[in-house]
């Protein structure tokens, strides 16, 4: 099946890619491996041509899962992974030094069971290391044939431009949804101007805009239980805002997830949406967005639904925010 495509470097990829993190990490209960394998292969069957993982996810288990599940179909998809954030001896590590990046890439290749990763992101900015040095490590990995393209994640427009001066950046990944608009400050336009693909992770706001959250009774280990917008007392207020979004989706003949994805994709031809799911039914719902017309008036109405001053609670805890370099919105409060 062929899906609508967007451009990533010198290649087309499906406009909706698949984030693989929650098959091994961060949300709810990890599914049985047979279900995860079935979902990954179903995504490829439906025309998804970009899969996104990272060294951090599940302490490397997510990369191992992809290695077992889909590497026999390697020619069918663009493979993206991430370094700098990693698990070292069971502990979370942020290290953007060239030596750490080189070692992380080698470990990722081994876990994935491949000799080449198409797109390697610097997962976060290590402020102790000049971005030029970190990008230089990726350039050497390109020269060695280990990776194909340079990516950045959750970095500012200034850092993107500095990185791009060392080597062309192919993709920038940041959280972006109708509820999280930080890339609109500068990053979205910087990517468009430089010819960089913008990859929007959490485009359905970690399930908030997919009808998945009605209370904060999360499974132990679910990262949303630590995120201020997703827990009481902020959550009840935010769900009142979401109710208007859900109603707009119903009026447009779409599901909330489809409206969120359509809105993200409408923000520019250089934008690729990166939802994740553990459910084949939800995967099929997400991909059906590309065949679900949404009135322009509905997309325009979504713009005004989640003003930063109306959302209760910051995006992250202080500790998590410390690793995020993306610009803040005017009026955004962190604590």
User: Would you name the residues annotated as active-site residues?
Assistant: 57
The answer to whether the CB of 288 falls within 8 A of the CB of 216 is: no
Chain centre to alpha carbon of residue 111:
21
CA distance 127 to 285: 39
- Alpha carbons within 13 angstroms on the beta-carbon side of residue 244 total 13
The secondary structure of 39-65, three-state, reads HHHHHHHCCCCEEECCCCHHHHHHHHH
Report residue 184 as tokens. 């609109």
Buried b (16+ CB within 10 A) or exposed e, 156-165: bbebbebbbe
CA distance 125 to 323: 7
Distances (CA, A) of 203 to 71, 137, 175: 26, 30, 7
């Amino acid at each position: 099946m062929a899906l609508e495509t967007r451009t990533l470097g010198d290649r087309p990829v499906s406009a909706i890619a698949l984030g693989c993190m929650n098959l091994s990490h961060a949300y709810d209960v990890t599914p049985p491996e047979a279900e995860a394998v079935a979902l990954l292969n179903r995504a490829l069957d439906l025309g998804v041509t970009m899969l996104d993982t990272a060294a951090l996810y599940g302490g490397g288990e997510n990369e191992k899962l992809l290695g077992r599940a889909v590497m026999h179909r390697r020619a069918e998809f663009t493979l993206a992974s991430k370094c700098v954030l990693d698990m070292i001896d069971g502990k979370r590590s942020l290290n953007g030094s060239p030596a750490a990046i080189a070692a992380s890439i080698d470990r990722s290749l081994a876990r994935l069971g491949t000799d080449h990763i198409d797109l390697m992101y610097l997962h976060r900015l290590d402020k102790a290391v000049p971005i030029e040095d970190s990008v230089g490590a990726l350039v050497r990995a390109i020269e060695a044939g280990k990776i194909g393209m340079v990516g950045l994640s959750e970095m500012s427009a200034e850092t993107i431009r500095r990185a791009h001066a060392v080597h062309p950046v192919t993709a920038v990944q940041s959280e972006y949804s109708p509820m999280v608009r930080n890339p609109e400050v500068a990053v979205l336009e910087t990517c468009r101007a430089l010819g960089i693909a913008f990859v929007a992770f959490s485009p359905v706001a970690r399930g908030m805009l997919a009808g998945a959250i009605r209370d904060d009774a999360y499974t132990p280990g679910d990262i949303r239980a630590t995120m201020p917008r997703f827990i009481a007392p902020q959550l009840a207020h935010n769900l009142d805002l979401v109710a208007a979004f859900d109603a707009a989706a119903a009026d447009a003949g779409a599901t909330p997830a489809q409206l969120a994805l359509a809105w993200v994709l409408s923000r520019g031809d250089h934008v690729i949406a990166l939802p994740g799911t553990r459910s084949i039914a939800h995967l099929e719902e997400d991909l059906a967005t590309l065949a679900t017309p949404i009135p322009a008036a509905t997309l325009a109405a979504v713009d005004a639904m989640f003003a930063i001053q109306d959302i209760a609670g910051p995006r992250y805890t202080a500790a998590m925010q410390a690793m995020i370099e993306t610009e803040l919105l005017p009026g955004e409060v962190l604590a």
